[in-house]
Amino acid sequence: MNKDISLVIPLLNEEESLIELHQWIHKVLDATSFSYEILFIDDGSKDSSWKVITDLQAKDDKVRGIKFRRNYGKSAALNVGFDACEGDVVITMDADLQDSPEEIPELYRLIMEDDFHLISGWKKKRYDPLSKTIPTKLFNWATRKMTGIHLHDFNCGLKAYKEEVVKNIEVYGEMHRYIPAIAKWSGFTRIGEKVVTHQERKYGVTKFGLERFINGFLDLLSINFVGKFGKRPMHFFGLFGTLMFIFGLILAGYIGAEKLYYLNIGVNSRLVTEIPAFYIALIAMVIGVQLFLAGFLAELVSRNSPNRNNYKIEERI
């Protein structure tokens, strides 16, 4: 029997905060009529986080745990948690006490009563240093522009989903930052936002460095391309390849026609190989052919994929 709420909590070396987080969740949800489960996903912790989880599970049948043999990353932890959860509403949160369980009842209401597919938290007031908040603002701005999803805080760990969303998306690599975009490309377009409280970190240190913003930008390009052209790569590579080839061909034709014209009227002119534009035309045609062939090969791979006709069907009658 499904629970009302599944809490999916990925963690890495958070032994100090787990007991306090567990108590806080119970304090909030035991005051409601919700049935719920708490899934702790240990992403290869080197401290005693897993022992804390097993101790909690021995005392509380609402607690479940999954431990990775090594560190795979937050996306892998979320993907495994999504596969294992059983709640009608799935809420993700970080284990470092910076996400408040007090937000859970309202997140549940927004999903079940207001019929959103996904609600993303927005830490409007943050307790992070400028070295983190400024790159975050730039990252969120770029993501809004490229995905067309108007959220202020894509990377907030506190999010709520309908069960059907998490059961129909795949999170891999470092794509946890772009779950709203992945959900949108999968047809779950009712995406909303809620201002949530951001707590100061109480224990430990942050697990993220500045490199995540570089990786995040590359992941953004990847998810945008896959979402738009994953099943029709020829439309991207073929279009740009054709345009490049036509540009090079026209430029080469103009250079050749100009040379023939000067020869016809007996005027000495430079050799074609001495004209810089000739090499631009040549490179444009070569790149155009390469892009076209890349699109053709990608199309062959796409058409032979076992998932080429794997479409998300909402209902049948």
Q: Taking Cα atoms as reference points, which of 190, 294, 152, 144 lies closest to residue 233?
A: 294
Q: Which long-range contacts (CB under 8 A, 24 or more apart) does 110-116 make?
A: 110/160, 110/192, 110/194, 111/160, 111/161, 111/162, 112/88, 114/192, 115/190, 116/160, 116/162, 116/190, 116/191, 116/192
Which of these three, 229, 264, 294, is where a domain ends? 229
- Determine, yes or no, domain membership for 166: yes
**Which pLDDT value is given to residue 316?**
58
Report yes or no: 80 and 41 within 8 Å, Cβ to Cβ.
yes
pTM score, whole prediction: 0.73
The domain tally of the chain equals 2
Do 222 and 261 fall within a single domain? Answer: no
Residue 312 belongs to a domain: no
Question: Residue 308 domain-assigned?
Answer: no
Same-domain status, 263 and 224: no
For the ranges 19-28, 168-177, 205-214, 235-244, the lowest mean pLDDT is seen at: 205-214
In DSSP notation, 26-72 reads: HHHHTTSS--EEEEEEE-S-SSSHHHHHHHHHHH-TTEEEEE-SS--
Reduced to 3 states, what is the DSSP secondary structure of residue 288? helix
Domain boundary pick from 201, 229, 257: 229
Domain assignment of residue 215, yes or no: yes
**Residue 189 in this model has a pLDDT that exceeds 80:** yes
Q: Helix, strand, or coil here: 249?
A: helix
pLDDT digits (tens, 9 = 90+) for 244-280: 999 999 999 998 888 888 888 877 777 888 888 889 9
Q: 3-class SS at 264? A: helix
Q: Say whether 278 sits in a helix, a strand or coil.
A: helix
Amino acid at 311: Y
Helical H segments across 60-103, by residue range = 74-84
Examine the domain organization and report whether 140 and 174 are in the same domain.
yes
Query: What is the per-residue pLDDT across 78-124, written as a single tens digit (0 to 9) for each?
Result: 999 999 999 999 999 999 888 999 999 999 999 999 999 999 999 88
- Long-range residue pairs from 226-231, CB within 8 A, at least 24 positions apart, any chain: 226/185, 227/181, 227/182, 227/184, 227/185, 230/302, 231/302, 231/308
Residue at which a domain ends, from 229, 250, 278 = 229
Give per-residue pLDDT as tens, 140-155.
Answer: 887 888 788 889 888 8
Question: Do both 254 and 117 map to the same domain?
Answer: no
- Residues 78, 178, single domain; the answer is yes
Q: Look-up: residue for tokens 């100090």?
A: 16
CA distance 127 to 132: 10
Residue 309: is its pLDDT beyond 60? no
- Label residue 71 exposed, middle or buried (CB < 10 Å: 0-12, 13-18, 19+): middle
Residue 314 lies in a domain: no
| 207 and 157 fall within a common domain | yes
- Number of alpha carbons in the 13 Å side-chain half-sphere of residue 298: 18
Q: Are 34 and 93 part of one and the same domain?
A: yes
Which carries the bigger pLDDT value, residue 190 or residue 219? 190
Task: Express each pLDDT in 279-308 by its tens digit.
Answer: 999 999 999 999 988 888 877 776 666 555
- pLDDT value for 294: 87
The answer on 107 and 78 residing in a single domain is yes
Confidence category of residue 205, pLDDT binned at 50, 70, 90:
low
- The CATH number given to whatever domain includes residue 106 is 3.90.550.10
Q: How confident is the model at residue 9 (pLDDT cuts 50, 70, 90)?
A: very high
Question: 197 and 138, same structural domain?
Answer: yes
Which domain covers residue 252, as residue numbers? Answer: 234-303
Q: Tokens for 7?
A: 């809490």
- Among 7, 10, 1, residue whose Cα is nearest residue 208: 10
CA distances from 188 to 3, 7, 181 (A): 22, 20, 9
Q: Do both 35 and 136 map to the same domain?
A: yes
User: Given pLDDT bands bounded at 50, 70 and 90, which one contains residue 193?
Assistant: very high
- Is the pLDDT higher at 235 or at 158? 158
Residue 265 has a CB neighbour count (10 Å cut-off) of: 7
The pLDDT, as a whole number, for residue 166 is: 94
| Residue 315 covered by a domain | no
**Residue 185 within any structural domain of the chain:** yes
Alpha helices in the chain, H assignment, sequence order: 15-29, 49-59, 74-84, 104-112, 130-147, 163-166, 179-185, 211-229, 234-264, 276-303
CB 38 within 8 A of CB 85: no
- In this structure, are 247 and 99 located in the same domain? no
**Domain identity same for 154 and 79:** yes
In a domain, 27, yes or no: yes
